[in-house]
Chain A
Amino acid sequence: EAQVTQNPRYLITVTGKKLTVTCSQNMNHEYMSWYRQDPGLGLRQIYYSMNVEVTDKGDVPEGYKVSRKEKRNFPLILESPSPNQTSLYFCASSLFLASSTDTQYFGPGTRLTVL
């Protein structure tokens, strides 16, 4: 089954404790992206990757890191989480973003609470 998986689905942590949220897709997609969803703000892009070893900042990259060592995986790293990073996070992938026939597939989401 074609899908985007994220782990963990729920995480409660404390300020400053490094964490990683994993994202994996089994569709051989080139493009992967991370978003955060906050009430009243919709989805805002954190980082995206057009291909292996190619990553770029989205609209809200501060406090986050990503890596793309393999095509299927795109982990999101919070080196020193802070309470303002409490949010619902989505990973997404698509074959390319430029294609007019492309569709972006979203993972199920990771709800992160930073105390």
Chain B
Amino acid sequence: GQQLNQSPQSMFIQEGEDVSMNCTSSSIFNTWLWYKQDPGEGPVLLIALYKAGELTSNGRLTAQFGITRKDSFLNISASIPSDVGIYFCAGQYNTDKLIFGTGTRLQVFP
């Protein structure tokens, strides 16, 4: 089955630092989504992107829909301990399927 390449696989950063992660695909997507999974919980939607080139913010989070429609980026500014978790990108290319990335595990040290 198709999967998205997400990098980095894991990040260990200090509180206050900025974080960047990305997702790439060989296929074009119509929608890009970013989810966060807290330990012991299911993923929760953070940001949804619907147009190529779109840049959307949600608090300290900013995500972009790549111009080629084959990639997306998520940035977290001024990280805090509660940012710890696994971040997943997901792409939708038709009306009934959502493909998830492999996840980026973020650890924030005080």
Chain A residues in contact with chain B, CB under 8 A? Answer: 4, 31, 33, 35, 40-45, 48, 50, 56, 58-60, 90, 92, 97-98, 100, 103-104, 106-109
Contact = CB atoms under 8 A, between A and B. Distances in A.
A40 B9 contact: yes
Interface residues of B, number: 27
Contacts of B1: 44-45, 58-60
Given A4-B42, A40-B9, 15 more contacts: A42-B6, A42-B100, A42-B102, A43-B88, A43-B90, A44-B3, A45-B98, A45-B99, A45-B100, A48-B97, A92-B42, A97-B98, A103-B45, A103-B48, A108-B42
Interface in B21-43: 31, 40-43
Nearest to A98: B95
Interface string B41-74: 1111100101000000000000000000000000
A8 B41 CA distance: 14
Contacts of B44: 106
Contacts of A59: 1-2
A24 B44 CA distance: 17
Nearest to B101: A42
Given A42-B102, A42-B103, A60-B1, A90 B97 contact: no
